[in-house]
Structure 1
Amino acid sequence: MIALFARDMVLAMRAGGGFGLGLAFFLIVTVLVPFGVGPESGVLSVIAPGILWVGALLSCLLSLDRIFALDFEDGSLDLLATAPIPLEGVVAMKAAAHWVTTGLPLVLAAPVLGLLLNLQGAGYGWLVLSLALGTPALSVIGSFGAALTVGLKRGGLLLSLLVLPLYVPTLIFGAETVKRGAAGLAAGTPALMLAGITLASVALLPFAAAAAIRVNLR
């Protein structure tokens, strides 16, 4: 399992789906928003939680189609499906590698990008916490969507259409956590809901993704 995790991280970097692509897109979104809505600090501070979370969500979405596509193309996915290790574990390791190469850099870079949107000081800790709690769910849900579309030609658009509705609860509770934290209000409830979504996704979706891969490989 550890060897598979390390292999997927190396493949993600070599295929151009590593942290550089996600961070670059996250930076572009953050920089362009002030040009679109104006430089007023009051407006930017109000919309900052939502914009930061939307940027992180779309950045995670960029590399989802590569989770299983490379293994499917070279036949490695067939070997993994028939290997003695559980296919559910394979899915979990691939989702973990995607989070480390995409989600974790976004968590670390978010406070710096929050400065560009004039995020209020009290919101930075909640921003990091919410992204740390929510981005693993984005990777696991994305791996489920990638499993559903593996082997399909031009499946990237279909993957986006399948995954984006499933991302909505994570987006809502993540942005609400930052919004309440920045305003000095109690943000524990949306943060707990966000953690619950992540735990439920980690517990259930690897089994669903493994079942979808088995169906697609028949």
Structure 2
Amino acid sequence: MRAVLLRDLQLAVRAGGGFGLGLAFFAIVVILVPFGVGPEPEVLARIAPGILWVAALLAALLSLDRIFAQDAEDGALALIATAPVPLEGVVLAKALAHWLTTGLPLVLAAPVLGVLLHLPAGAMPWLLASLTLGTPALSLIGAFGAALTVGLRRGGLLLSLIVLPLYIPTLIFGAEAVARGAQGLDPLPGLLLLAGVTLGCIALLPFAAAAALRVTLR
């Protein structure tokens, strides 16, 4: 599994591998928001939690089709499936690689972009906490969707249609936790629900994705 993780990280940093694409999209969306809604600090501060989370969600969506597509194209996926390694572990390794190259940069860049949207300083720790807890769920859900659509021609649109509804609970709990933190309220309920979603994804989705891959490789 470590070899799978290292291989995916190497592919991600190559030209066209998608590394940095999500981060650039995240930054562009956040930077464009003041041009669309106006520069008033009060307005930007009120919508900042939702905008940051929606931008992070869409940025994570950009590179999902690459989780299994490259391995399917060069035949590596069939070899991995016959290796003496649980396919569930391979799914976890690939989801971790996606998070390290997409989710983690979003977490690190979020406070800087939050300043651009006049997010209150008191909400910054909760923004970091919510993204740290929630973005792994985005990668795991994306890996499940990618497993369902691997091998399909023009599967990117279908992948988006499958994954976006499953992202909604993470989006709601993450944005609510940040909003409550910005208002001086207790953000802990939202963070606990977010952690529950992520733990549920870790427990269930590797098995679901592995089952989908086995069906595809038959």
Q: TM-score range by the shorter chain?
A: over 0.9
In the TM superposition, 1:8-47 aligns within 5 A as 8-14=8-14, 16-47=16-47
Q: CA deviation at 1:175?
A: 0.1
Q: Which residue of 1 aligns with 2:93?
A: 93
Instruction: Check conservation: 1:78, 1:217, Cα contact below 8 A.
Output: yes
- 3-state SS, counterpart of residue 24 of structure 1: helix
Q: Which residue of 2 aligns with 1:52?
A: 52
Q: Within 1, Cα distance between the matches of 2:34 and 2:90? A: 41
Q: Which residue of 1 aligns with 2:201?
A: 201
In the alignment of these two chains, the number of paired residues is 218
Q: CA deviation at 1:155?
A: 0.3
Q: Output the amino acid matched with 1:144.
A: F
Q: Which residue of 1 aligns with 2:78?
A: 78
**CA deviations over 1:53-75 (Å, ceiling 9, x no partner):** 00000000000000000000000
Moved more, 11-20 or 149-158: 11-20
- 3-state SS, counterpart of residue 152 of structure 1: coil
Q: CA deviation at 1:134?
A: 0.0
Q: Which residue of 2 aligns with 1:67?
A: 67
Q: Which residue of 1 aligns with 2:161?
A: 161
- 3-state SS, counterpart of residue 92 of structure 2: helix
TM-score, length-normalised on structure 2? 0.98
Q: Within 1, Cα distance between the matches of 2:160 and 2:16? A: 19
Q: Within 1, Cα distance between the matches of 2:18 and 2:125? A: 25
TM-score, length-normalised on structure 1? 0.98
- 3-state SS, counterpart of residue 47 of structure 1: helix
**CA deviations over 1:94-137 (Å, ceiling 9, x no partner):** 00000000000000000000011000111100000000000000
CA RMSD of aligned residues (A): 0.8
Q: Which residue of 1 aligns with 2:216?
A: 216
1:132 aligns with 2:132: yes
In the TM superposition, 1:111-122 aligns within 5 A as 111-122=111-122
Q: Within 2, Cα distance between the matches of 1:35 and 1:84? A: 53
Q: Within 1, Cα distance between the matches of 2:14 and 2:47? A: 35
1:109 aligns with 2:84: no
Instruction: Check conservation: 1:23, 1:105, Cα contact below 8 A.
Output: yes
Q: Output the amino acid matched with 1:105.
A: P
Instruction: Check conservation: 1:19, 1:105, Cα contact below 8 A.
Output: no
Q: Which residue of 1 aligns with 2:171?
A: 171
- Percentage identity across paired residues of the two chains: 73
Structure 1, unaligned stretches of length 5 or more?
none
Q: Within 1, Cα distance between the matches of 2:172 and 2:16? A: 29
Instruction: Check conservation: 1:48, 1:118, Cα contact below 8 A.
Output: yes
Distance 1:14 1:111, change over 3 A: same
Structure 2, unaligned stretches of length 5 or more?
none
Q: Within 1, Cα distance between the matches of 2:16 and 2:60? A: 13
Instruction: Check conservation: 1:123, 1:178, Cα contact below 8 A.
Output: yes
Instruction: Check conservation: 1:178, 1:187, Cα contact below 8 A.
Output: yes
Q: CA deviation at 1:17?
A: 4.0
Q: Which residue of 2 aligns with 1:192?
A: 192
Instruction: Check conservation: 1:176, 1:190, Cα contact below 8 A.
Output: yes
Q: CA deviation at 1:2?
A: 1.2
**CA deviations over 1:173-212 (Å, ceiling 9, x no partner):** 0000000011110010010000000000011100000000
Q: CA deviation at 1:15?
A: 5.2
